[in-house]
Structure 1
């Protein structure tokens, strides 16, 4: 049965999933890229960016596990790029170059319509203007029984959490403070929504926690 998952989503100790002031230079906001130290050394990440090698430790196990059985993704518009408002043209096609790391259909939440973008490696970006439920319905159909993974950002995850639609989350808590940015749990009562922590594993670069809906 298809599940809606968050996986390998990194937070600072103070709960921020991205820094402030996202732009072309700082796609994850100021200081945000440092959150992902646990991931960038892994074999999975090296493969994503076309490099050989990488670690085969616990961080790698969680990184690899995040891609298991994923048949489609959902992204908020900020995860697709820094452009706000109407699309000025068709030139922006994401942060990742011609061959993004998804390799399955990706559904981007936006208020502004745009034709699908077919990329190399099996990724097609679809732009959904009629809300999170429509995006999930389309993603599940495209996933053909596999899971749907929410890539972020924080606001997108919060929307699905509030509707109790996320089945499980893997969060990697990075041992650093950001101080400002987008706080995942701001205004979210996870206990009231029925979520609980079912697994925790510490590594030098992260505390990996699994949170599931009861």
Structure 2
């Protein structure tokens, strides 16, 4: 049965999924890029950016697993663009260039309409203006029985958690403190929402934590 998943989502030790002051220069907020050392060294990441090399270790195993059986993605607008409000123009087509790493239909949550964008490699961006439930319904239909992956950011994941819609999560907790930014769990009672920790694996650069619904 199709699942709604979060995979390879990195948090700081104090629970922040992005640093403060996100912008074009700092898409993950100030200090946010430092969280992702566990991922950026892996062979999977090297392949995403068209390079050879990278590690083939436990961190890479989790990165590989994060793409398995994914038939569609859901992203918040921040994961697609640095702009806010009405779209300034149609020139911006995402952070990743002409061939983004999704390779399946990808649904962007936004308040502002925009025509779908076909990219290289099988990615098509669809812009959903009528909420998280509509995005999930469309993504599941597009996934054709495979899983739907929520890529972030923090606000988007929180909205799906608040509705207990996420079936399983893999969080990579980086041994760094951010101090401020976007906190994933602030105000959420994960136990009352029906979630439990189902496993953990530690590496030098992250503690990989699995969370599932009971």
- State the TM bucket, normalised to the shorter chain: over 0.9
State the shift of 1:60 in Å. Answer: 0.5
Deviations 1:71-97 (A, max 9, x none): 000000011111000001101111000
2:35 aligned residue:
35
1:86 aligned residue:
86
Determine helix, strand or coil for the equivalent of 2:36.
helix
How many positions carry a matched residue from both structures?
Answer: 214
State the shift of 1:192 in Å. Answer: 0.6
Determine helix, strand or coil for the equivalent of 2:179.
coil
Gap regions ≥5 residues in structure 2: none
Query: Is the counterpart of residue 7 in structure 1 residue 4 in structure 2?
Result: no
1:17 aligned residue:
17
2:75 aligned residue:
75
Show the 5 A alignment for 1:166-177: 166-177=166-177
Alpha-carbon distance in structure 2 between the residues aligned to 1:154 and 1:189: 16
2:156 aligned residue:
156
State the shift of 1:53 in Å. Answer: 1.2
After superposition, the CA RMSD in angstroms is 0.4
Deviations 1:18-72 (A, max 9, x none): 0011111101000000000000011110110001111111000001000010000
Alpha-carbon distance in structure 2 between the residues aligned to 1:201 and 1:88: 43
Alpha-carbon distance in structure 1 between the residues aligned to 2:198 and 2:131: 30
Deviations 1:157-213 (A, max 9, x none): 000001010000000000000000000001111011010001100000000000000
Gap regions ≥5 residues in structure 1: none
Q: TM-score, normalised by structure 2?
A: 0.99
1:126 aligned residue:
126
Moved over 2 A (4+): none
